[in-house]
Amino acid sequence: MMLIRYISQIGRYFLMLKEIFNKQTKWPVMKNLIFKEIDDLIIDSLGIVCFISFFVGGVVAIQTALNLTNPLIPKYLIGFATRQSVILEFAPTFISVIMAGKMGSFITSSIGTMRVTEQIDALEVMGVNSVNYLVFPKIIALLLYPFVIGISMFLGIFGGWLAGVYGGFTTSAAFIDGAQMEFIPFHIVYAFIKTLIFAMLLATIPSFHGYYMKGGALEVGKASTVAFVWTSVSIILFNYILTQLLLGS
């Protein structure tokens, strides 16, 4: 019974994705909606992303340094490990899981509140494609999500450099040498491919749970929690699949 329910929900999710691109809202209206979503989802997320990225980058550098107890191991490995950790996993994946909580809860609660207060029904009565009206601007706004992850990468490595150098664990030259050592440009491409997939999940899964929720104000909170769980699970699952496809050889 539970399996059938899950399959039914997945089917409904893909039908919603199809509906997003049907009967587009007029551009003058859509343009304003997109700018509002950019402000709510991207600009408002920069503060928490910058704060977490800077300090986690510092923690990665310090923990790497503390584990390099053998004096024969070169100090430039601190910069190398920080770069690899931040670019490959921390910035695209860890930040996306955090954004599943921040962005996802906001999206689910805002759409769920519209469902509870019958604003979505009013849109349908006016002949508006409510799925396109509510979800499409979020998808377009989150095309800027790689910009957020790019900032996260920079601040993570910068935080690692600051913690490593001013903590007395390494020199600036050694850290920078390590950060540049054996750099593979495709790792950046891989990170941004993951980021775009995660952006799609962040925009659509919380929207799905908000759009199809039933009940009152209490159920809005429950839907936000469920949306966060499923968005996080989807991000981690796709992270594994994309890593296997793009890096596994």
The answer to whether the CB of 35 falls within 8 A of the CB of 60 is: no
- In the chain, which residue ranges form alpha helices assigned H by DSSP? 2-20, 27-37, 46-67, 76-85, 95-116, 119-125, 130-141, 145-166, 172-180, 186-211, 217-246
In degrees rounded to 5, what are phi and psi of residue 33? -65, -40
Q: What is the pLDDT of residue 249?
A: 58
What are residue 72's phi and psi, to 5 degrees? -80, -15
- The pLDDT of residue 48 is 92
Euclidean distance between CA atoms 57 and 87, whole angstroms = 10
Query: Domain segments of the chain: what residues?
Result: 34-248
Please give the model's pTM, rounded to 2 decimal places: 0.89
Cα–Cα nearest to 17, from 225, 145, 229, 203: 203
Question: Considering only CA atoms, which of 53, 55, 49, 76 is closest in space to residue 64?
Answer: 76
Predicted confidence pLDDT, tens digits, the chain (249 residues)? 778 888 888 888 888 888 888 888 788 888 898 999 999 889 998 999 999 999 999 998 888 888 877 777 777 888 888 898 899 888 899 999 999 988 888 899 999 888 888 888 888 888 888 888 888 899 999 999 999 999 999 999 999 999 888 888 888 888 888 888 888 889 899 999 999 999 999 999 999 988 888 877 788 888 888 999 999 999 999 999 999 988 875
Q: Please state, as a whole number, how many other Cβ atoms lie within 10 Å of the Cβ of residue 24.
A: 12
